[in-house]
């Protein structure tokens, strides 16, 4: 499979909306209960890219295989050097290296922008073994579990927190 990682564009919104909608409807990686429409996904993309955050697409032969983006981990000013990653893969592209390519590119793009820490917030972690393994393979380490913080698809879900330093991390001042 030939895969190109590139900045996502508004033309990708229909595919991004489908990929995310499938995840919301059928999975527990996102704690949203109803899939947002294209207008909302456009608004979210514009908000992130307008603030200089990376928003990437994985193109496989002209078809969107997945997407990833980063945004602030928290909005308080002291968190300004810490981002949270999000990676979503089309169902037909799972276990083909798409997530790894996207996350590696996202890590690089965030480090280039001067961010120092990346946080992965992985919902319903027992069901997200692939996401946990992906993050671990790219240098993230387990920092905690928030138990029973979400209720979706008739069961309580935890949130696993993983963290990775970017650039100098906390070794030097920004």
Q: What is the CATH number of the domain that holds 139?
A: 3.40.630.30
Q: Give the integer Cα–Cα distance in Å for 102 and 5.
A: 7
User: Under a CB-based contact definition with an 8 Å cutoff, are residues 119 and 141 in contact?
Assistant: no
Q: Which of 45, 50, 54, 36 is nearest to 11 (CA)?
A: 45
pLDDT at 31 over 80: yes
Residues 99-111: pLDDT tens digits? 999 999 999 999 9
Give me 74's structure tokens: 């928290």
Partners of 67 in beta bridges = 57, 88
Over residues 113-124, mean pLDDT: 96
Average pLDDT, integer, range 45-72: 97
Give the C-alpha separation, 28 to 150, whole Å: 9
- What pTM was estimated for this model as a whole? 0.96
The mean predicted confidence, pLDDT, of the chain is: 96
The verdict on residue 120 lying in a domain is yes
Q: Is residue 170 part of a domain?
A: no
Tell me, rounded to whole angstroms, the distance of Cα 18 from its chain centroid: 16
149 falls within a domain: yes
In a domain, 173, yes or no: no
Q: Which residue has the tokens 């895969």?
A: 3
Tokens standing for residue 62:
């002209």
Considering the domain boundaries, does residue 13 fall inside one? yes
Structural domain harbouring 150:
4-165
CA-nearest of 45, 46, 26 to 35 is: 26
Tell me the residue length of the chain.
174
**pLDDT value for 159:** 96
| Confidence label for 166 from pLDDT (cuts 50, 70 and 90) | very high
Average pLDDT over every residue of 105-121: 98
d(Cα 48, Cα 30) in Å, to the nearest integer?
A: 18
172 occurs within a structural domain: no
Confidence of residue 1 (pLDDT cuts 50, 70, 90): low
Domain count, the chain: 1
Burial class (CB in 10 A: 0-12, 13-18, 19+), 172: exposed
Per-residue confidence (pLDDT) for residue 93, from 0 to 100: 93
Residue 10 pLDDT more than 90? yes
Per the domain annotation, does 36 fall within a domain?
Answer: yes
**119 part of a folded domain:** yes
User: 32-46, 58-72, 116-130: lowest mean pLDDT where?
Assistant: 116-130
Output the pLDDT for position 143.
97
């Amino acid at each position: 499979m030939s895969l190109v990682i590139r900045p996502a564009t508004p033309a990708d919104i229909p595919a991004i909306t489908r990929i995310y909608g499938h995840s919301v409807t059928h999975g527990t990686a996102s704690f949203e209960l109803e899939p947002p429409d294209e207008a909302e996904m456009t608004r979210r993309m514009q908000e992130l890219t307008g603030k200089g955050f990376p928003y990437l697409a994985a193109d496989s032969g002209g078809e969107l295989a997945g997407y990833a983006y980063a945004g602030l981990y928290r909005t308080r000013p002291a968190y300004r050097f810490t981002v949270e990653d999000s990676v979503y893969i089309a169902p037909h592209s799972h276990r083909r290296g798409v997530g790894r390519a996207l996350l590696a590119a996202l890590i690089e793009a965030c480090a280039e922008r001067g961010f120092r820490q990346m946080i992965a917030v992985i919902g319903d972690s027992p069901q997200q073994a692939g996401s946990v393994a992906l993050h671990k393979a790219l240098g993230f380490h387990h920092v905690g579990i928030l138990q029973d913080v979400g209720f979706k698809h008739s069961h309580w879900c935890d949130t696993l927190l993983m963290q990775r330093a970017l650039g100098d991390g906390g070794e030097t001042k920004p």
